[in-house]
Structures are given as C-alpha cells and as structure tokens.
Chain A
Amino acid sequence: MTDSKYFTTTKKGEIFELKAELNSDKKEKKKEAVKKVIASMTVGKDVSALFPDVVNCMQTDNLELKKLVYLYLMNYAKSQPDMAIMAVNTFVKDCEDPNPLIRALAVRTMGCIRVDKITEYLCEPLRKCLKDEDPYVRKTAAVCVAKLHDINAQLVEDQGFLDTLKDLISDSNPMVVANAVAALSEIAESHPNSNLLDLNPQTINKLLTALNECTEWGQIFILDCLANYTPRDDRESQSICERVTPRLSHANSAVVLSAVKVLMKFMEMLPKDLDYYGTLLKKLAPPLVTLLSAEPELQYVALRNINLIVQRRPEILKHEMKVFFVKYNDPIYVKLEKLDIMIRLASQANIAQVLAELKEYATEVDVDFVRKAVRAIGRCAIKVEQSAERCVSTLLDLIQTKVNYVVQEAIVVIKDIFRKYPNKYESVIATLCENLDSLDEPEARAAMIWIVGEYAERIDNADELLESFLEGFHDESTQVQLQLLTGIVKLFLKKPTETQELVQQVLSLATQDSDNPDLRDRGYIYWRLLSTDPVAAKEVVLAEKPLISEETDLIEPTLLEELICHIGTLASVYHKPPSAFVEGSRGVQHKRLPGSAGSGESVESPEPASAAVPEASPSIIPSQGDLLGDLLNLDLTPPTSTAAPPPTSGLQMGAMDLLGGGLDSLLGGDLGGNPMGAGFGAPASAMPPSFSAPASGGLDDLFDLGGGVGMPTGAYTPPKTMWLPAMKGKGLEISGTFARRSGVIQMEMTLTNKAMSVMTDFAIQFNRNSFGLAPAGPLQVLTPLSPNQSIEVSLPLNTLGPIMKMDPLNNLQVAVKNNIDVFYFSCQYPMSVLFSEDGKMESKVFLVTWKDIPNDNETQCQIKDCHLNSDAASNKLQGSNVFTIAKRTVEGQDMLYQSLKLTNGIWVLAELKVQTGSPVFTVSLKCRAPEVSQAVFQSYEAILRN
C-alpha cells in the first residue's frame, strides 16, 4: 500500500471532506481520513479545525489508528486545550489496558501533551505505571517523569515522583535503569544544587552492572551520568575505570566517546607512577583512531574531541600522526579538523612526514584548506626549530606558484618566522618584495609592511616601498594603517636622513586626517617621542619583540578542563561551554576535572606549551603581535605617580619614564587643542601628582588597551598596631607599621613617652630576619622626648642585612635603646612591603615559568567578603606592586594572571579568579619557594580587603 497519495490532495473544501470522512462509520475510511490529516499536518497545513472529529476516532481498538490520533493530539492539544480534555478519559482508560504496549503508549503520549488540565490527570496513571509489572511500561513512565517535570516541576516534587524515580535506579531491568538515569540527570540539571542524583559507591555499582546489560543508548545515558561522579580516592577511580574500559570496543561511537570522557576525567585522580595509569593511556589511543573510520559526520565530532584530548594529554596520540593525514575525498570539515590536529602533534620526530603532507595540501582546490595548510607550514617552522629551514624553502616554493592567496598566506607566516628566528632567513626578503603588488588582503599587506619596516636597513628601496603604500593610506584597513605608521617610524629611526619627509607625511596622515582614535593615539605618541627624545624613541620603537608562542589557538586551561568533562557533547564540538549556546538554567553549571592525588598538573608533557599552561594573552599570537609588541609596554605599565619606581632595567622602565614626561608636555602643551584634547583635556589638571577618580576615564582609553589595568591606587599600608606597650617599655610606648613608599621600605613608628622623665639617645637595631631587613640609617629622633609627648618617626629600611629564616616568615625582632634601657619586641611586617617595583614579568616568561614550577608548589586559598570587581582589584594590587600580566574573562569569571617579585629576587606567580557578583576571590600562587606563599596570601587578603 502506498501512503503518498495523502500528500497530493490539495483541493479546496478539503477540510470539509475530511470531516465527513472522519465521521464515517467505516473503520477503513476513518483511518484513511486520519492519515490524510496527518499528511497535511506534516507539510505544514493547519488542520486544527478537525480537532473534535479526530479525537472522536480515539476510541478504537485499532492500535495503528490510535497512534495516529495520538500523534495529532500531541501537535494540536496546546492550541485547543479545552477540547483536549475530551481525550483525557480515553487516556486514563488506556493506562489500565491489559496490553502493556497500550498502557505505555497512553502514558507516553499523555506526557507529550502540554496542557495543564491534562497534566493534572496524568499523575495517578503515571504513579501506577512507574510501578507497573511490565518493564516496558516502567521504562516509558521513567521518561514521562522528565516530561512532566519540564511542564510542571513543582508538581513532580509534590507528588513524590522523584523518589520513585530514584528507586527505579535499582530496578531489575537494565533499560528501566538507563531511562531512569537519563530522566534524573535531566531533572538534576535544572536543579544544580539539589542532591538529586545522589551518586555514591552503591549506586555507582548498580549503574556499572546495568552498563553491561542495557542497549547501546542506555549505555550512553549511564556513562554520561557516571562522568558527573567524583570518586573518593584513586582506588575507587581505578576500579571504575577498569569496568568502563571494555566499552571502548563498542561499535557505537557515542558509547566509545562517553567512555573516553569518563576515563579522561577519572584518570586525573590516578597517580602517574601507577602501572595502570600507563596501561590506560595506551588503551585510549586505538579506539580514538578507530573513530576516524566512522561516517564523516561522526569523524567530525570525533576530531573536534580529539583536538581537546590532544591538548590535555598529548602523549596519548603522539605516535598516531599518520591517521590524521588528509584523504583526497574527505569532506572539507574533516580536512580542516585533521589539519588542526596534525599541527598539534607535529614534533621533531615526525616533522619530515608532516611537511611533505602539508606541501601536498597546499596545492589543493579548497581555498580555506590551502590557506590553513600554508599557515600550518609556518607553524611547523616555529614549533620545530630543526625544520625551520625546510619550511622556509617550502614556503618560497609556494610563493613561486604566484597563486594569490597562497602568496599572501605565506607572507603572513614568514613574518612570524622572522620574529622567531631573527637574523636567519632575511635573505628571502628580496623574493617577498617581488610580490608586493599582488597583496590585496589587509593581513598580508600588514605583514609585508612589518617586514619592510623591520628590515629597512637591508632593503635599499624600503622608503619607496613604504611610500607606495602611503598613497592610498585612507583606503587601507586599520591594521595596515597602524602597521604603516610603525613601519615608517622604524624606517625613519634607521635612516633618518632620507626619510624625514615620509615620516612627517605619515604622522600628519595619522593624526590629522584620521577618525580612528587608535591610529591617532599611536601617531601622537610617536610624534611626541620623536620630537622630545629620539634616543628613547629608538628604544621604544625598535625594542626587542616578545617571543612568539609555539602553540596557537590553545584553549584556555580552565575552559579546556570544562570541555574535557563534556566530551562527546555539543560543547566539545563547538569548543564552547554549554552556557554559551544553551538557554536557561540547563547545563550551565561548570564542570571541572577532579583534582588528582598527585597533582593537578596534566602531564609530564614532552612538548612544551602544549600542556595546561595559562595562556596569558592570546593576543600575543603573531597576527597582531607587532601592534602589541610596540605598545605592549605602554599598555600594561601606566605611569605610577604615587610610587615612582626606581629605574631598574632597560627598556620597560625607559618607556614608562618617557611616557610620563611625554604626557605632561602633551597635555600641557601645544597639542591641547587638537581632537585628542577631548580625551586628555580633562585629566590634565588633575593628573599629577595623583590620579583622581574622574580623571582616569579619559586615560583609561589610552592605557587600557590590553591588560585592563587602570590606575594604581597606591601601596597598601596596614594601620599601626601596638608593638611595645608602655608597661614593658618603662614608659616608652611604640606603635607602628610598615609601608613601601617610592620603592623604599619604611618603618613608621609613633613613639610616645608615658614616663615621667625625658627620653633621649634613641637607637634601633634588628635581629637577623628572613629577608635581611635592616635600618638604612639611624633612627632620627632629634629632639628629646618629653613626658606625654608623641613623635612620628619614619625609618627607611634596606634588605641588605643578615638573613635568618624566621617563623612566621615575616617576623621581625627589634631592639630599641634609649637613655633608660634597651627594649625588645617583635612585630610582623606585611609581605607587601617586599614586593618590588620591577615585579612585572613578561608575559612569555610568565607562561614558561608558570609551567616550569612544579604543581606541588601551587597553593590556593580563598578571600571572602571582597566586594571589588576585577579591575578595581587589579588596580589595588598594582598599587602594591602586584602586577597584572593578563586578564581573561571566561563565563563571567575574570582570571587575572599576576606576578610579583620579592626584594630577595623570589618571583611569585598568581592566578586570581574573580567571579562577577561573588565576594569570594580565589588566589592560586605558584612559587619556587612555596614557604612564602602563606605570607603572600595574607598580603593579598589585606590589600584586597582594605
């Protein structure tokens, strides 16, 4: 029989005809009519007018007809709630039917009808069905609870269905267990804090037993649920892993991926020296590779997940490079993903093969793919130094093809190679210059200009080349304009004699004829620099570039951890947390990997920078590297007015001084009237010596480019405390505190004479202490202290004294002498006075250091009741010489990566997590000398709370 005829009846008056047929006495005719109705419904016609007539057909013993009517009901009940009630009786009756298939059908359909009145009637039949003797009915009822919860959560709770559902986890039938788990997981998602899925070793055991027996889909539900469990210890973790590993041989890829998720997560808890840990790692590779022989859509899902797995645990697939080679017939989405993974797995061992492949790919048809392949060649050069030469020659070959987009892409990557290996491959510049005319994409043009500017001294006609770009200055994109500006200034600094005119021209184009504030700002800064101090300009503009990272597009570690918990799901396909694409409360709670017994460090990674390294700022990747490279120092180190730092080392400080000076004249001087004045005019009067709050608005724009660091608020100084009570000091009372002012540690004391006689001849001495604090000069109490008189003294300290470890670390024993006696007391100085001004680590160095420091040295603690946003916190901390290197925002949570340096040269790296709206901050400290962590915490707390 064919049903397609139902699709073709499109006459007018059709509804009327159908009505007649629906009310016919003949069963066959009725069924035919209902089929027509369903067909119309499918193609999008409105057949809701037939509602009563269709519902009348419901009372039938023909199961097929009944199913059709139910289908109709599910579609239209919502638009006709009153009439839908007519169906309730039949539903309730069907729930009592002796045939379990009909009982299940009734309860299944009833749950799909989202009409309040019907829902009320659903409760009783559902309760019965949940305890039905037939497993088919029970498994259907279990899902129905989730349906009901979606309609009316309160009702489900009030009726106690949740408890019944929980009981079903112990059901004898595996499919009932699986559906109950699925339903409970879904309900639990909308109640993040409820303990609904109370996973304990007993239930886990039940789930693992059901896992062996239920359908492939049920196995997925159970594995996904297991992944939410956190085992108590490594033993439990191992025993679950052992029972999950057989699933890796399942034919269903989703079962395999969900099993991989459980294993990846629980593996975190296993000590790495355990034999089983190694076995498990070995077991994971083959199933992942097998996923690549699945259908292309599944391959895509698998590849997106493998991309995550490779970032988290590169050792799993490091020998499997070949399977990621692109096949000619792969769909483009598979090709692009494979290429991504190839770059990640590239290492010295396999680089020759990889390069040969990439070269092949660069001649393919798909433009995106070819571009990515060319880019990949550049990445290889940067990642594996030994291969750099071959990569460069490959790129040159590709440039010779003269295929426009290949050439452009190649130039972009060659720029990065120049930066990574300076003074090595500049011989190719000539070839690059030949292709100047064919560049039409901003990124390629910008890269070319960068190369010309950077190597101006080696290119004879650099001025001509740059000038040629200058003609269409205003038609260029911002990226090119900025680059051109910097390029020409570089050229000028290198060949000042011939290019004066050119630089004038570009500066005036940038500052006077442009609407772009970034461009104008940069123009003014250069102008000012060049006109006040060309030597400094040279130091700033021709400064050494920050290193470029070997890995790009690394997923931020906390996000990566979260995504690992979502392996197999959409989140892992999009590489976004669920909250980024799911509406409402569902699935929004963040998942994290469990902390391991040994450490949280992911692996002893054989390849640097591929493990969990906090990517300080992704903007250091080469494409914009130059922009930041030039302005980087300015971005992150605003002039500090309260604590003028002693110039420590070269460039960074130089830039700061210059800017301070430059700004003064910029504000006060001739430029006040130009368009920029709007931004600068306001703060001009208020700026030095201290930035007042409203003034910072305009400046923020300028200084807030990268790090989100605003104005420092000055170093934190704790209030004075009583150090020596008069009782013990024979009338001399000393209270005091420590401060750091202008880079000098000050011991500030109030001396009060509570005795009856005059005190003179004050002197002070420190016992040996942890950081070698010692008075830098004598205690300056010049006049005798008369009875009841107080005097404020400030004693500068240095850190050149003898060292002895104290407990607590920041304890200081002091002896004060006067004409009466010698008094001893001990006090504790805040660690923050030891934070030196040059504690700003370069972001690259930060990355490397963070990774270098073993995880055992990491300590974490929370600071409660701190009502600041991350910017304010960053400002506060900066005032005390805790420098924010980079900031990331993930899911409303700001992550500040900070560094500080103690006077004795110990670096402390910190990660500060600030959840918007939450008063609790989490600080993680990493330091090679973990003993200092505790004291640093105290300072953090004191600074932030203050």
Chain B
Amino acid sequence: MIGGLFIYNHKGEVLISRVYRDDIGYVAQRSFMVTSCIKPATLFNVNLFVCRRNAVDAFRVNVIHARQQVRSPVTNIARTSFFHVKRSNIWLAAVTKQNVNAAMVFEFLYKMCDVMTAYFGKISEENIKNNFVLIYELLDEILDFGYPQNSETGALKTFITQQGIKGQTKEEQSQITSQVTGQIGWRREGIKYRRNELFLDVLESVNLLMSPQGQVLSAHVSGRVVMKSYLSGMPECKFGMNDKIVIDKQGKGGDLYAFCCSGKQSIAIDDCTFHQCVRLSKFDSERSISFIPPDGEYELMRYRTTKDIILPFRVIPLVREVGRTKLEVKVVIKSNFKPSLLAQKIEVRIPTPLNTSGVQVICMKGKAKYKASENAIVWKIKRMAGMKESQISAEIELLPTNDKKKWARPPISMNFEVPFAPSGLKVRYLKVFESKLNYSDHDVIKWVRYIGRSGIYETRC
C-alpha cells in the first residue's frame, strides 16, 4: 500500500510529507550525489533524519529536476516506486515499496486534489502552506496505513473542520461515525432546505480527428451529467434519459414517450460509469439509474458515445506551399446545427511553422491574430449561428532555413461551445421520492441545461 505521500512546490521543496510505512525511507543515497542540478536553496537542511528524507529527495532529483520531459507517471528509483500527478506547479507524489494497485494510487491522488480543492480552493503553494495543518488532518483521516478510507468531502466536512469539534452530543458523534462508515457515506442525515431544487447539467465534450480530405478518422463524445442537488432528507432519485436500450425495451412495453422517440431519437451509449451513489447492480440488471444523491454538486455519471454524433463544426483546410519561403493557408469553417441556435467562444487555431517571419491575415468574421509565441494563428469568433460559413485566409512568410527536418504540420484545432448535446442525449426525467418528509416530486424545482464543448477537435492539414 501507499508508503508515504509528499507534496512539493515547483522548486522541489517539500510542503507536506506524511510517511505511513517505514520501508520507504531507505532510498539509495545516490540521490544526493546528483546535486549538481539542484539550486543550493533547495538543499536545505538535509539532516538528522536523512533516511526518511531520502525518498523525498530521490523524487526531487529524479523527477522534478530531471532535465528530460517526464517519460512515465510512475518512476522506480532504487526499488521504490513514485507515483506523481501535477496540479499547476504543485507536485503530489505517492511513494511505495510494494506491489500496490497502481490505478488506485492515482485515483487516490486525484481524490486528494478534489478534497483539497473542496476545502480551500485552488491548489497552490500558498494555499497549501496556509492550510498545512488541515492537510495533515485530512491525510490522517483518508489514508490509514496507506489504505484509502472514506474520502467523500460531504462526509469529511462534518468532522474535519478548522474549528475543531466542539460540544458534540453523543448522538451527533455516532451520526458522524455511522455516516463515515455507512452505506451512504456521501450524504448526512437531517439536511433541510426551504426550497427543494436541483440542477442538471449535461456537459459534453465532442472529440474529432478529421483527415484533410474531410474523412472522419475518429469521433466520440465523452459526456458528464453533473448535478447540483439541494434536497431535504434522504431522497431517492431516479434518472432517465433516451438510452436506446431502455427505449427499445419500453417501446415494446407501451411507454408512450418511449414509443414516440424509439428509433431515431434514442442514442446508443457505448459505455457509462457512475458516481458511487448509483446502485450498479440495479443498472446492470434493469438499466435503471437510481440513487440517493450527495448534497451539493457532484458528477452523477460519465458516458461515451461514438454513433450518430452531431459534429457542430466542419473545418476545411487548404495549405499551399509557394516556393520555400511562403505558405498560403485558407480555412473554411461551417456550422452544422439548427439555425436558431448560437455557438459561442469559437476559436480556431492554425499552427504555423517555426521559421515564420510574418503573417498577413484576412478573415470575414471575428478577429484573427498571429501569435508568434504559440506558433499559431488564433482566430476568434464570439458567436455564430447554425448553418453558416466563414473563412479565413493567411499568407505566411517563412525564413529560409537549412533545417532538413520538415515541418510536422500539426493539426488545426478548434474550440467552441454549443447549447445542445452533440451526442443527442436527452434527459427524460429525474424523479425524486422522499417518503419521510412531506414534499413530492412535483414540489422540486428542476433545471436542465445542455452544453456541448469541443474536446480535442482537430483537422489535419
């Protein structure tokens, strides 16, 4: 299991170090030998408990200060394995000497980031230093002898606070413990709202890789259903969408809605995963999604579709090399959705060669700029309605080089946001049942919103 957990800043200084197992201390001394690349300031007081610091330093020397790009998120140094993730310029590293479940360690590190973000916002050096006592307290709670324990923020916030637990009654205490260990570890009892309300966001990112000739090489939508729930008590929820399997089944059974939209309007979901509150065995057997939601915001499900995706934009590139010092680029974008809808935050990024000396751009709509530092022409359009077309043309002057290596022609990428789900997913219902309290499904105010964003939306040129 996880032997220790360290948090470093970008210089490789340790901000947090928590050791769970003794075995991780004895990492080879050689880490100290390679001091040449460490700035003197970082070699602070490597002193008495050297053995324990060794793991810390080994990671700094071999990963953070490594000159090369990171070749693997798992590094084995002197029979000790380091797992790391990076958030802005903060490194989180888990260390072990055993054959741990690697997927679990990474999941845990992400979870750790989530928990910290939920407690004090952005993960930055300053925030970590400001909250180091809290972080130690959290680490003590969510990782015991290297085994991850309940790490749902909802539950943790009931008993890990910066104020300390004061004046708890016996009932309160046992409520906390039963919640932390219980079946519904993500929700506490006794939540009350004057207005029962819930927000459903269907957030999709549509990914595309297209050949210069306009052939779809790969396309998929990865979507998330994010829910913000402000519901009293312990409500039982049931979520329904136009899943092809369900619709086809119910269509035969006489469900009117299902009957109407069977066939065209249902979507084939390749795969989906759920928040731990969803009863998976029920989904497996009946394909129904039922759960008791956590309080506040969380991600109910993720899904992936590959069939019948609505590609909101099509990019048609035309690159022509005029001699050795000039490049002519023309890019047309076409929007492909209902004319009544508006796409926003459209950005087209056209890469330019490294030896670009100057660029002239003409575009019909929006603004375009050549950004030398990013080696790209960035074309921005605030809004664009469906079934429209726009184009940009650019002349790129090149410096003559004797570099034999050809320009790699990175793909043209695109960003946008559209107010519909490119997968075609529709929320059919979200029913709320709370038998103990006196509110019914009709009293709950529900909001549903669809947002489609570009994931990696690339066209080769």
Stretch with Cβ within 8 A of B (4 or more), from A444-452, A576-584, A895-903: A576-584
A3 touches B130 (CB 8 A): yes
A252 touches B107 (CB 8 A): yes
B140 touches A4 (CB 8 A): no
Nearest residue, chain A, Cβ from B162: A1
A546 on the interface (CB 8 Å rule)? no
A290-B106 CB under 8 A given contacts A71-B140, A99-B173, A249-B283: no
Nearest residue, chain A, Cβ from B277: A251
A301 touches B458 (CB 8 A): no
A221 on the interface (CB 8 Å rule)? yes
A46 touches B16 (CB 8 A): no
Q: With A and B bound together, what is the CA distance between A287 and B270 in angstroms? A: 9
Which residues of chain A from 133 to 182 have any CB-CB distance to chain B below 8 Å in the complex? 134-137, 139-140, 143-144, 146-147, 150, 173-176, 179, 182
Q: Which of A1, A100, A298 contacts B177 (CB 8 A)?
A: A100
Which residues of chain B from 140 to 175 have any CB-CB distance to chain A below 8 Å in the complex? 140, 144-145, 147-152, 159, 162, 164-165, 168, 170, 173-174
B144 touches A143 (CB 8 A): yes
Q: With A and B bound together, what is the CA distance between A587 and B76 in angstroms? A: 17
Q: With A and B bound together, what is the CA distance between A221 and B283 in angstroms? A: 22
User: Which residues of B sit under 8 angstroms from A99, Cβ to Cβ?
Assistant: 168, 173
Q: With A and B bound together, what is the CA distance between A63 and B134 in angstroms? A: 12
A71 touches B136 (CB 8 A): yes
Q: With A and B bound together, what is the CA distance between A35 and B299 in angstroms? A: 36
Which residues of chain A from 300 to 333 have any CB-CB distance to chain B below 8 Å in the complex? 300-302, 322-323, 325, 327-329, 331-333
Q: Which of A220, A287, A322, A333 contacts B104 (CB 8 A)?
A: A220
B85 touches A68 (CB 8 A): no
Nearest residue, chain A, Cβ from B139: A71
B22 on the interface (CB 8 Å rule)? yes
A944 on the interface (CB 8 Å rule)? no
A325 touches B218 (CB 8 A): yes
User: Which residues of B sit under 8 angstroms from A104, Cβ to Cβ?
Assistant: 177
A425 on the interface (CB 8 Å rule)? no
User: Which residues of A sit under 8 angstroms from B164, Cβ to Cβ?
Assistant: 62-64
Stretch with Cβ within 8 A of B (4 or more), from A253-261, A371-379, A494-502, A858-866: A253-261
Q: Which of B15, B101, B145 contacts A143 (CB 8 A)?
A: B145
A297 touches B132 (CB 8 A): no
Q: Which of A333, A401, A578 contacts B73 (CB 8 A)?
A: A333
From residue B329, how far is it (CB to closest CB) to chain A in Å? 18
Stretch with Cβ within 8 A of B (4 or more), from A358-366, A606-614, A910-918: A358-366
User: Which residues of A sit under 8 angstroms from B295, Cβ to Cβ?
Assistant: none
User: Which residues of A sit under 8 angstroms from B304, Cβ to Cβ?
Assistant: 286, 289-290, 293
Nearest residue, chain A, Cβ from B80: A581
User: Which residues of B sit under 8 angstroms from A338, Cβ to Cβ?
Assistant: none
Q: With A and B bound together, what is the CA distance between A224 and B98 in angstroms? A: 14
Stretch with Cβ within 8 A of A (4 or more), from B247-255, B364-372, B405-413: B405-413
B130 touches A4 (CB 8 A): yes
Q: With A and B bound together, what is the CA distance between A413 and B302 in angstroms? A: 42
A363 touches B147 (CB 8 A): no
User: Which residues of B sit under 8 angstroms from A6, Cβ to Cβ?
Assistant: 132
B341 on the interface (CB 8 Å rule)? no
Q: Which of A98, A144, A247 contacts B170 (CB 8 A)?
A: A98
A322 touches B177 (CB 8 A): no
Q: With A and B bound together, what is the CA distance between A360 and B211 in angstroms? A: 10
User: Which residues of A sit under 8 angstroms from B85, Cβ to Cβ?
Assistant: 295, 297
B385 on the interface (CB 8 Å rule)? no
Q: With A and B bound together, what is the CA distance between A470 and B272 in angstroms? A: 63
Q: With A and B bound together, what is the CA distance between A363 and B405 in angstroms? A: 9
Q: Which of B104, B150, B299, B301 contacts A175 (CB 8 A)?
A: B150
A23 on the interface (CB 8 Å rule)? no
A135-B98 CB under 8 A given contacts A301-B106, A322-B218, A573-B74: no
Q: Which of B84, B272, B276, B410 contacts A252 (CB 8 A)?
A: B276
A572 on the interface (CB 8 Å rule)? yes
From residue B440, how far is it (CB to closest CB) to chain A in Å? 28
B256 on the interface (CB 8 Å rule)? no
Among the interface residues B13, B44, B284, B413, which one has the most CB atoms of the partner chain A within 10 A? B284
A42 touches B132 (CB 8 A): yes
B15 touches A333 (CB 8 A): no
Nearest residue, chain A, Cβ from B351: A328
User: Which residues of B sit under 8 angstroms from A71, Cβ to Cβ?
Assistant: 136, 140
A628 on the interface (CB 8 Å rule)? no
B136 touches A301 (CB 8 A): no
A100 touches B174 (CB 8 A): yes
B14 on the interface (CB 8 Å rule)? yes
Interface size class of A (residues with CB under 8 A): 35 or more
A570 touches B74 (CB 8 A): yes
Nearest residue, chain A, Cβ from B163: A64
A46-B49 CB under 8 A given contacts A38-B133, A403-B406: yes
A568 on the interface (CB 8 Å rule)? yes
B81 touches A173 (CB 8 A): no
From residue A834, how far is it (CB to closest CB) to chain B in Å? 47
User: Which residues of A sit under 8 angstroms from B71, Cβ to Cβ?
Assistant: 332-333
User: Which residues of B sit under 8 angstroms from A297, Cβ to Cβ?
Assistant: 73, 83-85, 106, 109
Nearest residue, chain A, Cβ from B209: A325
A216 on the interface (CB 8 Å rule)? yes
From residue A745, how far is it (CB to closest CB) to chain B in Å? 53
B456 touches A566 (CB 8 A): no
User: Which residues of A sit under 8 angstroms from B100, Cβ to Cβ?
Assistant: 569-570
Nearest residue, chain B, Cβ from A363: B408
From residue A372, how far is it (CB to closest CB) to chain B in Å? 13
Which residues of chain B from 259 to 305 have any CB-CB distance to chain A below 8 Å in the complex? 270-276, 279-281, 283-284, 299, 301-302, 304
B99 touches A569 (CB 8 A): yes
Stretch with Cβ within 8 A of A (4 or more), from B179-187, B391-399, B425-433: B179-187
Which residues of chain B from 55 to 90 have any CB-CB distance to chain A below 8 Å in the complex? 56, 69-74, 76, 79, 81, 83-85
From residue A252, how far is it (CB to closest CB) to chain B in Å? 5
A45 on the interface (CB 8 Å rule)? yes
B45 on the interface (CB 8 Å rule)? yes
B322 on the interface (CB 8 Å rule)? no
A186 on the interface (CB 8 Å rule)? yes
User: Which residues of A sit under 8 angstroms from B271, Cβ to Cβ?
Assistant: 249, 286-287, 289-290
From residue A345, how far is it (CB to closest CB) to chain B in Å? 14
User: Which residues of B sit under 8 angstroms from A35, Cβ to Cβ?
Assistant: 133
Q: Which of B102, B276, B410 contacts A328 (CB 8 A)?
A: B410
Q: With A and B bound together, what is the CA distance between A927 and B51 in angstroms? A: 57
Q: Which of B1, B104, B150, B177 contacts A186 (CB 8 A)?
A: B1
B145 touches A325 (CB 8 A): no
Q: With A and B bound together, what is the CA distance between A174 and B182 in angstroms? A: 7
A7 on the interface (CB 8 Å rule)? yes
Q: With A and B bound together, what is the CA distance between A783 and B270 in angstroms? A: 89
What is A's interface to B at a CB cutoff of 8 Å?
A: 1-4, 6-7, 35, 38-39, 42-46, 48, 62-64, 67-68, 70-71, 75, 79, 98-101, 104, 108, 111-112, 114, 134-137, 139-140, 143-144, 146-147, 150, 173-176, 179, 182, 186, 212-213, 215-217, 220-221, 224, 243, 245-247, 249-254, 256-258, 286-287, 289-290, 293, 295-298, 300-302, 322-323, 325, 327-329, 331-333, 353, 356-357, 360, 363-365, 401-404, 566, 568-574, 578, 581-583, 586-587
What are 27 of the A-B contact pairs (CB < 8 Å)?
A: A3-B129, A4-B132, A42-B15, A42-B17, A67-B136, A99-B173, A112-B145, A134-B174, A135-B177, A135-B182, A136-B178, A144-B145, A174-B183, A220-B101, A251-B301, A253-B107, A286-B270, A289-B271, A290-B304, A295-B106, A297-B109, A323-B218, A331-B70, A403-B404, A566-B99, A573-B102, A581-B99
What is B's interface to A at a CB cutoff of 8 Å?
A: 1, 13-17, 19-23, 44-49, 53, 56, 69-74, 76, 79, 81, 83-85, 96-104, 106-110, 126, 129-133, 136-137, 140, 144-145, 147-152, 159, 162, 164-165, 168, 170, 173-174, 176-178, 180-183, 185, 209, 211, 217-218, 220, 222, 270-276, 279-281, 283-284, 299, 301-302, 304, 404-406, 408-411, 413, 456, 458, 460
Given pairs A290-B271, A401-B404, A587-B98, 5 additional interface contacts (CB within 8 A): A63-B164, A136-B178, A175-B181, A176-B181, A215-B276
